[in-house]
Amino acid sequence: MKVLFLDQSGQLGGAELSLTDVAKHFRDQGLVYLFEDGPFAAKLTAERVPCKVLQRPRLSISKDSGLLQGLLSIRQLLPLVGEVVKTAQTYDVIYANTQKALVVGAIASILARKPLVYHLRDILSAEHFSQMNRRVAITLANMCATLVIANSQATRQAFMDAGGSPQRIKVVYNGFEPDQYQGQPPLRTVLQQQHAIQEGFWIGHFSRFSPWKGQHVLVDALQYLGEEAQVLLVGKALFGEDDYVQFLQAKMQDYGLQDRVHFLGFRSDIPALMASCDLVAHTSTSPEPFGRVIIEAMLAGCPVVAAKAGGVTELIEHGKTGWLCPPNNPQKLAQMIGECQRQPQLRQQIADQARVQASQTFSLEHTNQTISGLLQQHVRRSTSS
């Protein structure tokens, strides 16, 4: 079975990392088509996954776009559609990994007469998307996709609440390879030397910089914690959100926390960094579709405090495999972090339980087998109809 994957981004976000794991399974019979060049293409090449970048102008439509901007973007889509239609002739299925990819893939699937699969990795709600974007996604998924794969029950529910067909959607959790995260040597000495991080209780935050990812919530919480608490912010602004980084830096200055908050930038050694932390904080202010960083921390043996919303509640059993905190509540977050800090034996016990559960529940091999089976089923159904 030959699969043509579509993704709009050249950057390496959670959706792109998860697609890489799926595309590796189909590397001998798959191709990833990207609408932009960037680190994602380099990642795919390093993983020996065939990819091609469509050298076209950047699509102007965004998650909060209105009707007028959406209509104006149609002219940009047509060359992309033409390229995809041409390539899709030799593939069995078109697999759209993002919303812009869905728009292109839906039109291309009709013209090329190929089944379309949409991997939904977003919560389709007003907190994340404009009404026009939600309507387009639901309409195209209902009309064109033979299968919608959701990365959590929360994502599936939001899809149906927005009008999506419950008959089309299946939940398949993201998969991981435990060996990539376990047994990593901590980097505390190196980080102390390179970033002047004081010894103490290290709290890691791993995410792109964006207001809804909530780095500011952790900075706010830090003012209620003792001097030994140090925050490591790993990531960068990917989608024109550099103003948010400046906002965080100004907040640090206001609180006098500039010596306790450390910007480590984009890193490729995430497992080793997580192994260096005493705790990982997840602080999204809006419901998270899945929460990839949570499973990564579990596999790395680092306990997690996470925002209790969306797909996150499916990943953590509060008090047994991690802690769940009300979103956007710095004081409660500080209280939970303080309790974790004072109970090292409990932290270790929970980290051990979380590692076992994550290894068993979020196996990449199982995820890829499930997706492969679903694709084969829907390709057979399409060719027989």
pLDDT in tens, 182-216: 888 889 999 999 999 999 999 999 999 999 999 99
- Mean pLDDT confidence for 277-298: 97
pLDDT-based confidence at 293, cuts 50/70/90?
A: very high
Distance CA 77, CA 79 (A): 6
Domain 3-175+363-384 shares a fold with domain 178-361: yes
Tell which residue, 62, 36, 210, has the closest CA to residue 133: 62
pLDDT at 57 > cutoff 60: no
pLDDT at 358 > cutoff 60: yes
pLDDT-based confidence at 33, cuts 50/70/90?
A: very high
- Mean pLDDT confidence for 81-97: 95
| Homologous superfamily assigned to 178-361 | Glycogen Phosphorylase B; (3.40.50.2000)
pLDDT at 64 > cutoff 60: no
φ/ψ of residue 233, rounded to 5: -100, 115
- Quote the pLDDT of residue 288: 95
CA distances from 385 to 114, 115, 116, 380, 381 (A): 12, 11, 14, 9, 6
365: left (phi over 0), alpha (psi -120 to 50) or beta: alpha
Please give the mean pLDDT across all residues of the chain.
Answer: 92
- Mean pLDDT confidence for 74-87: 84
C-alpha radius of gyration, the chain, whole number: 21
pLDDT: which is higher, 58 or 348 = 348
- Quote the pLDDT of residue 29: 95
pLDDT at 69 > cutoff 60: no
Tell me, what amino acid is at 221? A
Domain regions of the chain by residue span: 3-175+363-384, 178-361
pLDDT at 313 > cutoff 70: yes
Question: Which residues 6+ apart lie within 8 Å of 384 measured at CB?
Answer: none
- Quote the pLDDT of residue 71: 43
Whether 325 contacts 308, CB under 8 Å: yes
Provide the edge-to-edge strand list for the sheet that holds 116-120.
Answer: 51-53, 30-34, 3-7, 93-96, 116-120, 145-150, 169-171
- Quote the pLDDT of residue 155: 98
Distance CA 252, CA 245 (A): 11
Tokens for 355, please give them: 């590692």
Percent of the chain with pLDDT over 70: 94
What SS3 class is residue 327?
Answer: coil
**3-175+363-384, what's its fold?**
Rossmann fold (3.40.50)
Tell which residue, 346, 192, 375, 382, has the closest CA to residue 276: 192
- Quote the pLDDT of residue 5: 98
φ/ψ of residue 163, rounded to 5: 110, 5
- Mean pLDDT confidence for 106-129: 94
pLDDT in tens, 259-269: 999 999 999 89
pLDDT at 56 > cutoff 70: no
- Quote the pLDDT of residue 63: 53
pLDDT in tens, 231-252: 999 999 987 788 999 999 999 9
- Quote the pLDDT of residue 238: 82
Tokens for 184, please give them: 């990593």
Burial 261-275, CB ≥16 within 10 A → b, else e: bbbbeeeeebbbbbb
pLDDT at 322 > cutoff 70: yes
pLDDT at 68 > cutoff 50: no
Burial of 374 (0-12, 13-18, 19+ CB in 10 A): middle
Distance CA 35, CA 357 (A): 36
Q: In which residue are the tokens 């993201």 written? A: 174
Distance CA 82, CA 99 (A): 18
pLDDT-based confidence at 65, cuts 50/70/90?
A: very low
- Mean pLDDT confidence for 311-320: 97
